[in-house]
Amino acid sequence: MKDFFHKNGVLLLVIALLLSLLVGISSALMGGTADPLSNAATTITAPVRSLVSNVLDWAEGVYNYVFRYEELNTELDTLRKQVADLEAQLRESGEAARENQQLRQLLRLQEKHQDFVFESARVTQRSTTNWESTFTLSKGSSAGVQTGNCVISETGALVGVVEEVGLNYCRVSTVINTDIEMGGICVRTDCAGILEGDFALMSQGRLKLSYLPDDAQLRPGDQILTSGQGDIYPPDLVVGRVEELRSDPSGMMRYAVLKPQARLDSLVEVFIIKEFDVVE
């Protein structure tokens, strides 16, 4: 031990302490923007991340083709049936849409629309810690990505929210992460609540819809969308489906456990909503 202190041991410990303080304080002060050191480190390692990510995606594709061919075929058949059902529903709703359009024109109402500006990005790194659920994506401030932007999958399901932005990367807090909090609404009953992450549910890949009204009549299978309250996040993004209803330890409040629609463990490409404009 004396050798250590002779060999600039104290200096090493002081340097370590100072670096910890520097990185910690700069992270805290910069809010959602990555501190310069993290930015530099992640920018330098970005090519490695992309390369490894691409190689692993390719290897997973080969593995799925070789070992999960039957399973994928079955899933394809199920999806084909779902598409056929949805097309039938679309045809039936076409008449209602036309009538809605005519009524809007009659009453001189502005057409309801949602304009989104998307930026596509690849998932370059999955969450490396068990204490939170995040992704790293391949786009950052140079592509116009900002903290608070929502991220959706190719099917329009909510994946998460951008919480830190670097030059060519951004970190996304997924829907099951503990710091997620946004308004949610049930499609069937119009019942509103708050979508929240929960640490115990996060390890099971679930989140919860809490602060439900006493007369909320949710049931398993109900689809939950974002409500867009406060205009911070876009409305009508698919979050997931209700799995079960539970009460909190006090027994006073009920909450719904949701299974996210987005398959967080197999995402490859996602879309960042950089801007949105909603007219009701």
Contacts with another protein by CB under 8 A lie at 1, 3-4, 7-9, 12-13, 15-17, 19-24, 27, 37-38, 40-42, 45, 48-49, 52-53, 56, 125-132, 134, 136, 164, 171, 178, 198-200, 203-204, 265
Residues 6+ apart with CB under 8 A from 171: 34, 134, 135, 136, 137, 162, 163, 164, 165
Do 212 and 223 form a contact (C-beta atoms < 8 A)? no
Task: Strands of the chain (E only): list them.
Answer: 113-126, 134-137, 150-152, 158-165, 170-174, 181-186, 192-196, 207-210, 223-226, 238-247, 254-260, 269-279
- Residue 117 Cβ vs another protein, minimum distance, rounded to whole Å: 25
DSSP state of 157: B
Q: Which C-beta is closer to another protein: that of 9 or that of 31?
A: 9
Q: Which C-beta is closer to another protein: that of 48 or that of 62?
A: 48
- Residue 226 Cβ vs another protein, minimum distance, rounded to whole Å: 24
Q: Which C-beta is closer to another protein: that of 7 or that of 104?
A: 7
- Residue 225 Cβ vs another protein, minimum distance, rounded to whole Å: 26
Closest CA to 138 of 6, 50, 77: 50
Q: Which C-beta is closer to another protein: that of 11 or that of 90?
A: 11
Report how far residue 174's alpha carbon sits from residue 134's, in angstroms, rounded to the nearest whole number. 5
Q: Report the DSSP pairing between strands 181-186 and 150-152.
A: unpaired
- Residue 106 Cβ vs another protein, minimum distance, rounded to whole Å: 52
Q: Which C-beta is closer to another protein: that of 4 or that of 69?
A: 4
- Residue 280 Cβ vs another protein, minimum distance, rounded to whole Å: 36
Q: What is the SS3 assignment for 126?
A: strand
Q: Which C-beta is closer to another protein: that of 130 or that of 155?
A: 130
Do 170 and 39 form a contact (C-beta atoms < 8 A)? no
- Residue 8 Cβ vs another protein, minimum distance, rounded to whole Å: 8
